[in-house]
Amino acid sequence: MIVTIDGGVASGKSAVGKRVAEKLGLPFIDSGLMYRAITRLAMQRGIDPRDAAAVTRLAESTQLRIDGERVWADGQELTEGIYDADYADALPIISAIPGVRKALVEEQRRMGESGVVMAGRDIGTVVFPGADHKFFLVASLEEKVRRRAVQYERRGERVDGEAMRKEVELRDRVDSERPVAPLRPAEDALIIDTDHLDVDQVVDRIVGHVQART
């Protein structure tokens, strides 16, 4: 069984996806970790995020492995600091490079071919368009900013409310307007407004939907 959970920044897809996978007895993959890993490697190696050819070569030649919330690149664990704000500006640039997306989509398909709950931005539309169950999570800008601030605070990072708002707006705009695999719900996805729902409520809604149709 393949279950896709897509949504914009801070829509709750990763937290929800992890718990849905546990309840359904499936592995969980947060595809965003793959883009973060490539971004971090590019920055570490001094590769300009706008050098599409160089970043694409990096994505094509790097062996990624994901286990829950942990990620490795060529055997090196990159989990600690993977969400650092230092990579915030480069991430949407690298994520929009067609060659990078092509390389990572191929890897995502390989990882999930035996059954998976996968969260991302284009999983139901591009990675697994024939998935058994598709969901798309939405939330208001205010709620996304609140959630993002909580994420930063939990990691002990300073929170600048206005900067956070601009970051969320920019990321969603870039993801929605990119020419390759833009952020949008699949035509057959169930859209869930998460503004007034906690994680458990969203999980229960998704699991109930899947079980009723399995």
For residue range 162-184, what is the model confidence (pLDDT) as tens digits?
Answer: 888 988 898 888 889 988 889 99
Q: Does the residue 211 lie in any domain?
A: no
Mean pLDDT score across all residues of the chain: 94
Q: Does the residue 190 lie in any domain?
A: yes
Distance, CA of 55 to CA of 117 (rounded, Å): 27
Q: What is the pLDDT of residues 12-48, one digit of tens each?
A: 999 999 999 999 999 999 999 999 999 999 999 999 9
**Domain interval for residue 44:** 2-200
CATH of the domain at 18: 3.40.50.300
Domain count, the chain: 1
Of the two residues 180 and 51, the one the predictor is more confident about is 51
Backbone torsions φ then ψ of 120, nearest 5 degrees: 180, -150
pTM passes above 0.75: yes
Q: Does the residue 206 lie in any domain?
A: no
Contacts of 181 (CB under 8 A, 6+ apart): 101, 105, 121, 122, 125, 126
At residue 148 the predicted structure's pLDDT band, cuts being 50, 70 and 90, is confident
Q: Does the residue 209 lie in any domain?
A: no
57: tokens are 């070569």
Q: Does the residue 212 lie in any domain?
A: no
Q: Does the residue 76 lie in any domain?
A: yes
Distance, CA of 49 to CA of 31 (rounded, Å): 19
Q: Does the residue 189 lie in any domain?
A: yes
At residue 153 the predicted structure's pLDDT band, cuts being 50, 70 and 90, is confident
Q: What is the pLDDT of residues 68-113, one digit of tens each?
A: 889 999 999 999 989 887 888 899 999 999 999 999 999 999 999 9
Q: Does the residue 196 lie in any domain?
A: yes
pLDDT at 155: 74
Closest residue by Cα to residue 129 from 45, 28, 4: 4
The answer to whether residues 80 and 155 touch, using CB atoms and an 8 Å cutoff, is no
Closest residue by Cα to residue 112 from 34, 183, 55: 34
